Amino acid sequence: MADYDVVIVGGGPGGYVAAIRASQLGFKTAVIEKEQMGGICLNWGCIPTKALLRTSEIHHLLHSLGSYGFKAENISFDFKKVIERSRSVASQLATGVRHLMKKNKVTILEGNAQIKGRQGTEIELIVDGKTTLKAPHVILATGARARQLPGLESDGKLIWTYREAMVPEKMPNSLLVIGSGAIGIEFASFYRLMGADVTVVEVLDRILPVEDKEISTAARKSFEKQGIKIHTGAVVKSLKKNKDSVVATFESGGKSQEITVDRVISAVGIVGNTENLGLEKTKVKVEKGHIVTDEWCATAEPGIYAIGDVAAGPWLAHKASHEGVLCVEKIKGLKTAHPMKKENIPGCTYSYPQIASVGLTEDAAKALRGDIKVGRFPYMANGKAIAMGEPEGLVKTIFDGKTGELLGAHMIGAEVTELIQGFCLAKTLEATEQEIIQTIFPHPTLSEMMHESVLDAFGQVIHF
């Protein structure tokens, strides 16, 4: 029996960050991980997909060399090496996480953890049925897995989840992507830029449905210009598997359509990993596949917390990491600890073009505040964007018409996933348009569009 102050189940971006912060605060800390440190994000999500997407951007640029004054012939790629580079990047960072655990004196236990019961204020866990440990505080950070649709389940060969889509044995010539959230769109973008014939089917009336409608519309226009076929308000009815292809039948606009593709990617959401944790022995509640928590990540069972994808959305790595820190700081009793404001969590889609946002959409802001001011600034009017050869995009900002509070920011175009942090900081500081307008932005940069968008919302735009 080993005693700890804090035990964390899961070593993903929520779990390992919580462990580091717990150690910094003086807690004797252990992390239990059944697979690889870094979790899905580092090994099978955020990081390796970005490596793939970077490769596809380079492939796109190589075929656009003429516009920059270059000339190249017989451009080709080794798909096996493309995949190997992605896996190498993930492996390097996973090793780095293990180093961070050692540096911060966090114990790593490998295996499956299960809550065995409790002894007074302490919770007892068992790892792989043999190693027992207890702690007054247990943080569940077990993540999530791909949701499977009845009758359309993945088989790992012809019908893929994100895992198989990252390590294919060969480059497919054609692909159907079911679902147009960030995961689906990123894979659609990668495979299209690498040369595949890509079709996207979305059950809702537009792609990227959590984004601002104007940005969603602009994204669809851009993707269709690149050759991606998009069907919204459509439902996949069946997938018939042949030896090396799939015949997909879907309904759109009351009409049934059939296409044959090499592979199918199912990207229709996630389900929290709540099974086999021993939760039935506790008061922990699970609703719609995710653990219910309060604003401090605490469950209904004293001493048990849940963070990241196993808990409520948005299901983003940076949200999980932030939850890990605030949860541990609350356990410590720090006066600086405060609940997360979900409206300040940015969302990013690393497609081509990129999409990024924070806060309320225009429709949500109108419904909530009524009187709003909206500013826009196009990439085509920005010197740096034109110099980069990236004139396609838009920066949009939304303010409270009475107070000037920044309510939301929505962007599409080159490097917006980096730019969005400026608006995140503004929201955290509760900035109004005056603070942003009075901020000096460097020239020439893409960030100037952020300034101009704010100026536009208040009738002061300069360069458009």
Residues designated as active site:
443
Q: Letter for the amino acid at 199?
A: T
Tell me the residue length of the chain: 464
How far apart, in whole angstroms, are the C-alpha atoms of residue 255 and residue 269? 25
> Mind giving me the DSSP string for 154-202?
--SSSEE-HHHHHS-SS--SEEEEE--SHHHHHHHHHHHHTT-EEEEEE
Beta-ladder partners of 126:
114, 132
> Mind giving me the DSSP string for 72-105?
--S----HHHHHHHHHHHHHHHHHHHHHHHHHTT
Closest by CA to 135, choosing from 302, 5, 303, 284, is: 5
Please give the biggest Cα pair distance in the chain: 73
DSSP H helical segments within 288-442, as ranges?
Answer: 317-332, 362-369, 383-388, 416-428, 433-437
List the Cα angle 321/324/325 in 5-degree steps.
95
> Which value, to the nearest 10 degrees, does the dihedral of the CA atoms of residues 90, 93, 99, 104 take?
-120
How far apart, in whole angstroms, are the C-alpha atoms of residue 11 and residue 19? 9
Q: Do the Cβ atoms of 356 and 349 come closer than 8 Å?
A: yes
Closest by CA to 439, choosing from 406, 400, 416, is: 406
Closest by CA to 393, choosing from 351, 345, 421, 431, is: 351
Q: Do the Cβ atoms of 187 and 162 come closer than 8 Å?
A: yes
> Mind giving me the DSSP string for 38-57?
THHHHHHSHHHHHHHHHHHH
Closest by CA to 446, choosing from 381, 396, 400, is: 381
Q: Do the Cβ atoms of 8 and 104 come closer than 8 Å?
A: no
Radius of gyration of the chain (CA): 24
DSSP H helical segments within 289-316, as ranges?
Answer: none
Q: Helix, strand or coil for residue 331?
A: helix
